[in-house]
Amino acid sequence: MANELFHKLGGEAAVNAAVDVFYRRVLSDDRISDFFEDVDMERQAAKQKAFLTMAFGGPVNYSGADMRKGHAHLVARGLNDSHFDAVVENLVASLQELNVPAELIAEVGAVCETTRNDVLNK
């Protein structure tokens, strides 16, 4: 079913369009941009692409363990629910900017929500 969402959104082309809009928003958002300092931008963009592919239900499959490991150092720096919400908010705004229908955006949001506890190492 998730894969269906990926195709409804337009597959890889949609991910490529969304990552540009989304990552620019994230880097410009003072609430969360600090978490993106001191990283290689291109590697980070590749990670954003992997994240969006996952959020869209596409063929990149993170395990919960990967999510926990990948974010542990950020949780140590204070990553919490408010930051998670800010990222989701930026993703929703990006998809709205790209004229994605509201019901698909809601589906993407639901996929993101399933990762909250792993991302925040709860």
Partner 1 sequence: MTQLHLNEATYQCEAGESVLDALTRQGVAVPSSCRSGVCQTCMMQAAADANVPRAAQNGLKSTLQAQNYFLACVCHPTEDMTVSLPDSSDRLLPATVTAIRPLNDEILCVGLDCPSLQDYRAGQFINLYRDAGFSRSYSLASVPTDSYLRLHVRRLPDGRMSNWIHDQLKIGDSLHISAPVGSCFYLPGAAEQPLLLIGTGSGLAPLMGILRDALNREHSGEIHLYHGSRDRAGLYLVDELRELAEHHPNFHYTPCVSSEPATSGCKSGRAVDVALAEHPDLAGWRVYLCGNPDMVKSARKKAYLAKAAMNDIYADAFVAVAS
Task: Give the residues lining the site for partner 1 (CB under 8 A).
Answer: 20, 23-24, 27-28, 41-43, 45-47, 49-50, 53, 59-60
State the nearest-atom distance from the C-beta of 118 to partner 1, in Å.
Answer: 17
Q: Give Cα 7 to chain centroid, integer Å.
A: 17
1, 83, 92 from 75: Cα distances, Å: 31, 10, 23
State the nearest-atom distance from the C-beta of 23 to partner 1, in Å.
Answer: 8
For partner 1, give the closer residue by CB, 24 or 80. Answer: 24
Q: d(Cα 62, Cα 60) in Å, to the nearest integer?
A: 7
Contact in structure between 107 and 4 (CB atoms under 8 Å): no
For partner 1, give the closer residue by CB, 33 or 80. Answer: 33
For partner 1, give the closer residue by CB, 28 or 96. Answer: 28
State the nearest-atom distance from the C-beta of 81 to partner 1, in Å.
Answer: 26
Cβ-in-10-Å burial (0-12, 13-18, 19+) of 51 comes to buried
For partner 1, give the closer residue by CB, 59 or 101. Answer: 59
